[in-house]
């Protein structure tokens, strides 16, 4: 059957793309032949250097998307480093380093910051990630495995918070500070859908500045992700070494039977109309969340957005065609806008002095490493008790909660050689991260 003209899988387009990639020297970055991409990038960077770009959403998107695509391409092309989520790490570190070293004027950071915060791009992105991730889950997977899978996720979160608070208290770092500023962002589902809304929740509770909170949260996400990837490799090695029938499932979650469901987007072509449906559904849920937050201001609007999306999915209110649209919109944001988000956060909101300070703090590093180790161990043990293999439960429920979200999931599964666990890490990163936001919103008035 001929594909509809409004899909990205138009055979004629694929054929032209395939022919183009066979032309010698025609390397592509973000789907654009490298000479054209490099020309655009140089033009934008030169314009930003000489402060010729106006502060608006077009300038911000041009700067952050082009720089983000370039850094992601470089990081993902470096052997070994790409196993550790190299592209995402470069997007988070390099722009902040550019500002720190003075290679670009302060207007560079101002444009990135205003684009993301003042012009509303953050709300569009974060809401799209939340709504699309929840509605995009397979409902059968959520219903059949969700209750059981929640046990190791909860064990990892509670144990990490408790142990993190204890270490914070013993080292003089502070129990509340350890939970809210270190353990929280590590277990919060990444940067764009975790640390960013977390910083806004903290700001709304304390009356402080979200950007200042994000400066404190971001280092934990980055360093914690690196520890997760190393831990994934260690678990993979242990799985090959420890020959116990309950320990290593070699990619299978349940010791008796298994649930394996494919996502709708795995079999359906990405259509422009689906993106439109996803965008419309996202802004609709956003408005509902904002209205409820206005009526019940004790919880942040993002928390209400999470609750509304979860009710829609669990109650099976939204048709699958619309759920597909929300998932496609999530996929679009993840693949096209997340690099821009990371660049915006890095250039506009991360103070490299703060990153250096916390990374050189032994107490801070001890809390980070212990958080990941304890979360993975607790998730593995409780997962074993409810019928999962230890290694698979530790990776999916433990490291899936502690890594950097989407790119972190890929890096962790690549290091552990268990890409088949992706649906479970998606649940951990998405639903677990959402639940973490709700928990932290309740704890924030007590510890901040």
The per-residue pLDDT for range 5-35, each reduced to its tens digit, is: 343 344 444 444 333 444 555 789 999 999 9
pLDDT category at 379 given cuts 50, 70, 90 is very high
Alpha helix positions (H), 296-402:
301-314, 320-332, 338-349, 352-359, 362-385, 390-393, 400-402
Cα(229)–Cα(71) distance, rounded to whole angstroms?
A: 20
Question: Of 239-248, 278-287, 329-338, which one has max mean pLDDT?
Answer: 278-287
Query: Does residue 78 sit within a domain?
Result: no
Mean of all residue pLDDT scores within the chain: 84
pLDDT-based confidence at residue 133 (cuts at 50, 70, 90): confident
Kindly report which listed range (68-77, 182-191, 404-413) carries the lowest average pLDDT score.
404-413
Q: What pLDDT does 262 receive?
A: 46
φ, ψ (nearest 5 deg) of residue 254? -85, 135
Residue 63 has pLDDT above 90, yes or no: yes
Q: Give CA separation, 146 vs 133, 201, 303, 397, in Å.
A: 15, 26, 20, 11
As a whole-number percent, the residues of the chain with pLDDT over 70 amount to 88
Continuous segment of H or E residues that includes residue 32:
strand 32-33
CA distance 309 to 214: 25
| pLDDT score for 91 | 87
Residue at 390 is within a domain: yes
3-state DSSP assignment of residue 33: strand
pLDDT cut 90: percent of the chain above it: 41
Is residue 146 one of the residues assigned to a domain?
Answer: yes
Q: How many CB atoms lie within 10 A of CB 107?
A: 15
| pLDDT at residue number 11 | 41
Mean pLDDT of 175-198: 89
Please check the confidence at residue 259 and state whether its pLDDT lies above 50. no
User: Which single residue is written with the structure tokens 């694929």?
Assistant: 14
Most confident range, picked from 74-83, 129-138, 383-392, 410-419: 383-392
- Would residue 54 count as lying in a domain? no
Residue 3: pLDDT band by 50, 70, 90 thresholds? very low
Tally helices (H) and strands (E) across the chain: 22, 2
How far, in whole angstroms, is CA 244 from its chain's centroid?
33
Is position 214 within any domain? yes
Number of domains in the chain: 1
3-state secondary structure (DSSP) of residue 254: strand
Q: Examine residue 50 and state whether it is found in any structural domain, yes or no.
A: no
* Residue/partner pairs of 3-10 with CB below 8 Å, 24 or more apart: 3/269, 4/269, 4/271, 6/271, 6/272, 6/273, 7/269, 7/270, 7/271, 7/272, 8/269, 8/270, 8/271, 8/272, 9/269, 9/270
- Is 177 within the bounds of a domain? yes
> CB pairs under 8 A, 24+ apart, for 291-295?
none
Non-local CB neighbours of 329 within 8 Å, separated by 6+ positions? 128, 131, 132, 274, 275, 277, 278, 279, 281, 282
pLDDT of 316 above 80: yes
* Confidence (pLDDT) at 145: 67
pTM to 2 decimal places: 0.70
CA dist., res. 96 & res. 255, Å (int) = 45
Q: Would you give the DSSP letter of residue 259?
A: -
H helices present in 50-138, as ranges: 57-77, 86-101, 106-113, 121-135
Question: Which has more pLDDT, 426 or 209?
Answer: 209
Angle at 69 between CA 4 and CA 357, to 5 degrees: 140
What is the pLDDT averaged over residues 113-139? 84
For 266, other C-beta atoms within 10 Å of its C-beta total: 7
Report pLDDT for 301.
Answer: 83
46 inside domain: no
The pLDDT of residue 64 = 95
Query: What range defines the domain where residue 153 resides?
Result: 120-447
Mean pLDDT of 356-376: 90
């Amino acid at each position: 059957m001929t594909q509809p003209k409004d899909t990205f899988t138009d055979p004629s387009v694929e054929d032209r793309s395939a022919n183009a990639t066979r032309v010698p020297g025609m390397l592509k970055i973000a789907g654009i032949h490298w000479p054209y991409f490099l020309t655009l990038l140089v033009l934008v960077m030169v314009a930003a250097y000489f402060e010729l770009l106006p502060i608006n959403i077009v300038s911000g998107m041009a700067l952050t998307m082009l720089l983000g695509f370039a850094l992601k391409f470089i990081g993902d092309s470096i052997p070994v480093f790409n196993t550790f989520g190299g592209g995402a790490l470069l997007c988070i570190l390099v722009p902040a380093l550019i500002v720190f070293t003075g290679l670009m004027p302060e207007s560079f950071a101002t444009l990135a910051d205003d684009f993301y915060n003042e012009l509303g791009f953050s709300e569009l992105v974060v809401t799209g990630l939340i709504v699309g991730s929840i509605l995009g889950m397979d409902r059968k997977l959520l219903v059949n495995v969700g209750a059981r899978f929640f046990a190791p996720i909860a064990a990892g979160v509670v144990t990490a918070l408790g142990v993190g608070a204890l270490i914070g208290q013993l080292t003089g770092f502070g129990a509340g500070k350890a939970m809210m500023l270190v353990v929280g962002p590590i277990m919060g589902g990444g940067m764009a859908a975790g640390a960013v809304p977390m910083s806004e929740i903290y700001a709304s509770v304390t009356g402080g500045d979200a950007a200042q909170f994000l400066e404190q949260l971001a280092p934990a996400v980055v360093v914690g992700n690196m520890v997760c990837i190393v831990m994934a490799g260690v678990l993979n090695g242990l799985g090959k070494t420890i020959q116990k029938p309950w320990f290593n499932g070699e990619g299978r979650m349940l010791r008796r039977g298994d649930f394996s469901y494919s996502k709708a987007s795995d079999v359906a072509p990405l259509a422009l109309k689906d993106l439109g449906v996803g965008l419309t559904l996202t802004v609709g849920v956003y408005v509902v969340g904002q209205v409820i937050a206005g009526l019940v201001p004790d919880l942040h609007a993002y928390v209400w957005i999470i609750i509304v999306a979860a009710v829609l999915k669990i109650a099976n209110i939204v048709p699958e065609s619309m759920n597909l649209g929300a998932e496609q919109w999530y996929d679009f944001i993840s693949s096209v806008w997340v690099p821009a988000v990371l660049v915006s956060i890095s250039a506009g909101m991360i103070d490299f002095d703060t990153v250096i300070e916390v990374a050189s703090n032994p107490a801070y590093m001890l809390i980070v490493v212990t958080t990941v180790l304890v979360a993975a161990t607790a998730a593995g043990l409780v997962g074993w008790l409810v019928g999962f293999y230890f290694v698979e439960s530790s990776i999916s429920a433990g490291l899936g909660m502690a890594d950097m979200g989407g790119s972190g999931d890929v890096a962790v599964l690549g290091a552990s050689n268990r890409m088949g666990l992706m649906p479970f890490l998606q649940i951990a990163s998405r639903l677990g991260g959402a639940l973490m936001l709700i928990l932290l919103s309740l704890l924030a008035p007590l510890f901040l």
